[in-house]
Amino acid sequence: MKRTIITIDREKCNGCGACIPNCPEGAMQIVDGKARLISDLFCDGLGACIGHCPQGAMATEEREAESYDGKKVMDNIVGQGDNVIAAHLEHLKCHNQTRYYNEAVEYLKENHITIPDKKEAPMHERGGCPGAATRTITKNQSVAPENGGKRQSALTHWPVQLHLISPVAPAYRGADVVLSADCVAYAYGDFHKDWLRGKALSIACPKLDEGQEAYAEKITALIDNAKINTLTVLTMEVPCCRGLLGLAQEAVKKASRKIPIKSVVISLEGEKLSEEWV
């Protein structure tokens, strides 16, 4: 059958293993110094591992693959303890995989295994890079009054660096996305109020970041897999910053879906120089 499944770029993979603990289904192993998908049966194709790869070596693709086998996955998971079971159930719920979730719960009941409450481990005890762990940030998003008071951050998710984000993270699904050059938020005083509120964020530096060939692929995945609505690219007026818009336009051309893209240029003094759909 044809379905979405994880693919790993062996050239980009450095064998760090950050993806392994972030795949409780047990679909991956390090073999000959590289991460490998060892069984289509275990891979649900939802991409929980993608945001944990610091090399941008992981993505999803649609291809012929064996059907996901929830029973075999649970056979593998239950021996890893309550926290892994809970994380797997939470993973399925977050991605609205009702059928897989119900199958997992039924398996636990049939085998007289108590459905565990999820216990959040301290950051230093979690698998993979703590900075790449996908998180939702919930807060009161009201804007502080003009006559004073502290304005809250409008950021609703983590991570935000383009290499680290997962294109299938809940924050990006169906969202209006801001792709911002790193320096913009420092130059533009009302960045959160004017550009971030109500949007999902990703940041990058088109001059200094390494591995930028993965950026266009990641943006294309946001368009096709997360099905984002719009993309707003914020850059500084300096010439080296223009590359970010170029990456975004390249990604839009490669995507099977077509979405509107807006370019906004900020001056070194923190003023908006231009704003246009391109």
Location of structure tokens 């935000």:
160
- Name the residue among 182, 174, 125, 134 with its Cα closest to residue 156: 134
Q: How confident is the model at residue 261, as a pLDDT?
A: 96
Domains of the chain: which residue ranges?
2-110, 134-277
State the angle between helix axes of 242-254 and 213-224 in degrees (0 to 180), rounded to the nearest 10.
50
- Name the residue among 191, 166, 193, 164 with its Cα closest to residue 180: 191
pTM metric for this prediction? 0.58
Question: In terms of DSSP bridges, do strands 2-8 and 34-37 run parallel, antiparallel, or are they unpaired?
Answer: unpaired
Burial of 269 (0-12, 13-18, 19+ CB in 10 A): exposed
CA distances, 32 to each of 24, 52, 56, 59 (Å) = 21, 20, 19, 20
- Structural class in CATH, domain 134-277: alpha beta
Q: How confident is the model at residue 33, as a pLDDT?
A: 83
Beta bridge partners of 64: 2
Return d(Cα 160, Cα 179) in angstroms, integer: 9
Location of structure tokens 């603990």:
21
Cβ-Cβ contacts under 8 Å for 60 (sequence gap 6 or more): 4, 5, 6, 7, 45, 47, 50, 167, 168, 221, 225
* Secondary structure of residue 83 in the 3-state scheme: helix
Segments of the chain with pLDDT less than 70? 24, 80, 91, 94-96, 117-133, 139-149
Q: Confirm or reject CATH 2.10.260.10 for domain 2-110, answering yes or no.
A: no
Cβ-Cβ contacts under 8 Å for 66 (sequence gap 6 or more): 1, 39, 40, 41
Question: In terms of DSSP bridges, do strands 176-181 and 230-236 run parallel, antiparallel, or are they unpaired?
Answer: parallel
- Name the residue among 31, 34, 37 with its Cα closest to residue 15: 34
